[in-house]
Amino acid sequence: MNYLKKYTNTPGFAKIVKKNDMGLKLMEFGLIKLRKDEEYGAFNGDNETALIVLGGCCEIKGDDFLFENVGGRKDVFSGKPHAVYIPRQSRYKIKALSDLEIAWTESPSSLASKPRHIRPEQMKDVSLGKNNFSRTAQMIIDDSFNSNHFFIGEAQVPSGNWASYPPHRHDFDNLPEEVDMEEIYFFRFNPAQGFGIQKIYNDSNTIDETYTIRNNDTLGIPEGYHPVVCAPGYTMYYLWIMTGENRKFVSHKDPDHAWVAERG
């Protein structure tokens, strides 16, 4: 199976990952690209929706909510994100206040929740890993948030560094060590011609894939370990979206490589 999806700049809404693509059962993913003063509207039915502003500023409104001045950063390398959570059975409309790009994701939901504008100061900053496998991250929606399935964040990986290392998986509900959550990564590079190398593999080696990752690529991770490395000279950004019945930021490390995390 091919776990890599390509995207080229498309005006309006472009769905990149459909339900059941690449074995992903609980999420869809796409991008919304609008010019200033353009609008996009939708009804999410039985899905909860998360909108992460990659660049630009907008107004997002529905029947019972209005969020003004959502966003503001130029691009994903120029500050922290704004995001909006929209519960199931909601109509919403996005109006671009500047040229705008939004990451869109939906997941089935039975939860009665409220719309929320998630501002940068409400997000948790974390530093993950160490040495040449370190990265910084912002937790946009975590397990304290009233969502049915989402756990969402952004990561910035420095030049030449690894991320999701030591390799980890989240394939089985086995608390407190591991939870079953599927995931996607959406990538950007600075400068834009940068690249990375991504692996996906499982314990039985029925999955053992290696991909060259470039700007605007999306990777589906239905299961398995998934380390990634950034080419020297570039900064790698990725938006990660996890969905599962149990939402925890815990994972099982590959026993062959777990020792690296314990080394000084």
Distance separating alpha carbons of residues 90 and 62, to the nearest angstrom: 7
The span from the CA of 203 to the CA of 168, in Å, is 11
- Residue 90, pLDDT score: 97
How high is the pLDDT of residue 128? 87
The position carrying tokens 């919403």 is: 92
Domain contains 41: yes
Based on the structure, what is the number of domains in the chain?
1
3 in a structural domain: no
Q: Does 156 map to a domain? A: yes
Structure tokens at 255: 């026993």
Rounded to an integer, what distance in angstroms lies between the CA atom of residue 157 and that of residue 172?
A: 27
* CATH, residue 158: 2.60.120.10
Q: Kindly state whether residue 157 falls inside one of the protein's structural domains.
A: yes
pLDDT of residue 130: 87
Structural domain includes residue 199 = yes
**Is 48 domain-assigned?**
yes
- Tokens 């120029």, located at residue: 78
Coil, strand or helix at 260:
helix
Residue 214 lies in a domain: yes
Question: Residue 264: its pLDDT value, please?
Answer: 59
> Whole domain around residue 85: which residue ranges?
9-262
For the chain, 264 residues long, give each residue's pLDDT as a single digit of tens: 899 999 988 899 999 999 999 999 999 999 999 999 999 999 999 999 999 999 999 999 999 999 999 999 999 999 999 999 999 999 999 999 999 999 999 999 999 899 999 999 999 998 888 889 999 999 999 999 999 999 999 999 999 999 999 999 999 999 888 999 999 999 999 999 999 999 999 999 999 999 999 999 999 999 999 999 999 999 999 999 999 999 999 999 999 999 998 875
Q: How far apart are CA 26 and CA 207, in angstroms?
A: 20
Give domain status of residue 229, yes or no: yes
Write down the pLDDT at residue 120: 96
With vertex at residue 137, the alpha carbon angle to CA 131 and CA 140, rounded to the nearest 5 degrees, is 165
